[in-house]
């Protein structure tokens, strides 16, 4: 696999790279991140390697991330057309103004116009609902987004960080009304965060939403920088956002990543990214970088092919505890299949099932 081996995003014709460039670190406005020059070097390297999917948001580095992307693409002839720019709305950029955030029509239209201005473009390829706004009816949000699509200011829409039941409701409503449906789902997904496999991942696969995982390395915990040997002495820049995840379970995952990395001739980070990219329903995994060398290390995941045994080992060591009814669903083959194999899933006979000699009522 390479960056130029594109995939369609969900039930759409939009072709995106298997690794998406996350740009939350573009700009130093939060006191950390990449300088403008370094951000532009990262953009250039990603595009040169064949990548085409760039993810940002109106709130990233106070809007500076969008400006950096827009300025770079405006100077690079032909690159805007080849790039798939994804940005987000919902973050409030004007404290004190209750209408400057969320999913209302008023905010969506204004946020879109501001993102278009910062990005120096006439259209947004993929407009994400950054999170569900419980104070706005979802039909208002969907209708506003559909109007932007019909006006040519947005090409596709997606949902991020939203409960499965609300995304499903929105999807059915959009189909019923003839509005533009979500084509993608952006969620946190990694070897550490697998609870999304209970509801969000099955929903996305059923409805045809392309999954775009964020934080596939859990904020750098799975980067290979932290090991069982140095975890106790770790003093990361992000403090407890990293150290809180250096648990026994996660250190066991890191141990397995290091072991498989040696077998595959790859870094632990590349192995962790390759695992995420192999998961059912995943279309494009978001990778971020503050430095050019970090980008190169992450993009190396595009060339890593894990064996079934290696994938199984990672699955086992990272097995999540899922909410009901996920545990109950493991028993369904026994209840429903009568000891047969259906669609590749074998089953045992339910011990309490009627026997041939039993009277059936």
Share of the chain above pLDDT 90, in %: 84
Residues 6+ apart with CB under 8 A from 340: 346, 347
Nearest to 12 by CA among 266, 185, 138, 163: 185
Mean pLDDT of 273-285: 97
Dig out the tokens for 236 from the structure: 């990361």
Please spell the DSSP secondary structure of 222-245, one letter per residue: TSSS--TTTGGG---TTTHHHHTT
pLDDT, tens digit, for every residue of 96-139? 999 999 999 999 999 999 999 999 999 999 999 999 999 999 99
pLDDT, tens digit, for every residue of 198-220? 999 999 999 999 999 999 999 88
Residues 6+ apart with CB under 8 A from 249: 318
Dig out the tokens for 132 from the structure: 């569900």
CA dist., res. 53 & res. 84, Å (int): 5
pLDDT confidence of 238, banded at 50, 70, 90?
low
- Report how far Cα 164 is from the mean position of its chain's Cα atoms: 14
Q: What pLDDT, on the 0 to 100 scale, is given for residue 359?
A: 78
Q: What pLDDT, on the 0 to 100 scale, is given for residue 234?
A: 62
CA dist., res. 190 & res. 39, Å (int): 25
Nearest to 103 by CA among 125, 127, 69, 67: 127
pLDDT, tens digit, for every residue of 249-271? 999 999 999 999 999 999 999 99
Which active-site residues does the annotation give? Answer: 60
pTM value? 0.93
Whose tokens are 């990005």? That residue is: 119
């Amino acid at each position: 696999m390479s960056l130029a081996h594109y995939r369609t995003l969900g039930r759409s014709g939009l072709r995106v790279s298997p690794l998406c460039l996350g740009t939350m670190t573009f700009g130093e406005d939060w006191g950390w991140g990449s300088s403008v020059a370094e951000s532009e070097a990262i953009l250039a390297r990603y595009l040169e390697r064949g990548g085409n999917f760039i993810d940002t948001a109106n709130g990233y580095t106070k809007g500076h991330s969008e400006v950096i992307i827009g300025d770079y693409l405006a100077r690079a002839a032909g690159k805007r057309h080849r790039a798939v720019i994804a940005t987000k709305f919902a973050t409030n950029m004007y404290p004190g103004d209750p209408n400057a955030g969320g999913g209302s029509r008023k905010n969506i239209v204004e946020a879109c116009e501001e993102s278009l201005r910062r990005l120096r473009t006439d259209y947004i390829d993929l407009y994400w609902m950054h999170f569900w706004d419980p104070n706005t009816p979802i039909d208002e949000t969907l209708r506003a987004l559909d109007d932007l699509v019909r006006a040519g200011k947005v090409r596709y829409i997606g949902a991020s960080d939203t409960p499965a039941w609300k995304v499903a409701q929105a999807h059915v409503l959009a189909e019923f009304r003839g509005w533009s449906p979500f084509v993608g789902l952006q969620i946190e997904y990694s070897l550490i965060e697998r609870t999304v496999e209970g509801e969000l991942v099955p929903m996305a696969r059923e409805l045809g939403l392309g999954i775009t995982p964020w934080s596939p390395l859990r904020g750098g915990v799975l980067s290979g920088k932290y090991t069982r040997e140095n975890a106790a002495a770790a003093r990361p820049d992000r403090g407890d956002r990293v150290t809180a995840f250096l648990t026994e379970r996660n250190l066991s995952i890191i141990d397995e990543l290091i072991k498989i990395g040696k077998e595959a001739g790859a870094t632990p980070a590349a192995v962790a990214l390759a695992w995420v990219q192999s998961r059912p329903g995943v279309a494009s995994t978001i990778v971020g970088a503050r430095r050019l060398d970090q980008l190169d290390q992450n993009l190396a995941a595009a060339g890593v092919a894990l064996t079934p045994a290696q994938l199984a080992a990672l699955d086992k060591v990272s097995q999540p505890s899922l909410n009901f009814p996920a545990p109950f669903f493991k028993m369904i083959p026994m209840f429903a299949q009568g000891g047969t194999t259906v669609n590749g899933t074998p089953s045992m006979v339910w011990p309490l099932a009627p026997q041939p000699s039993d009277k059936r009522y």
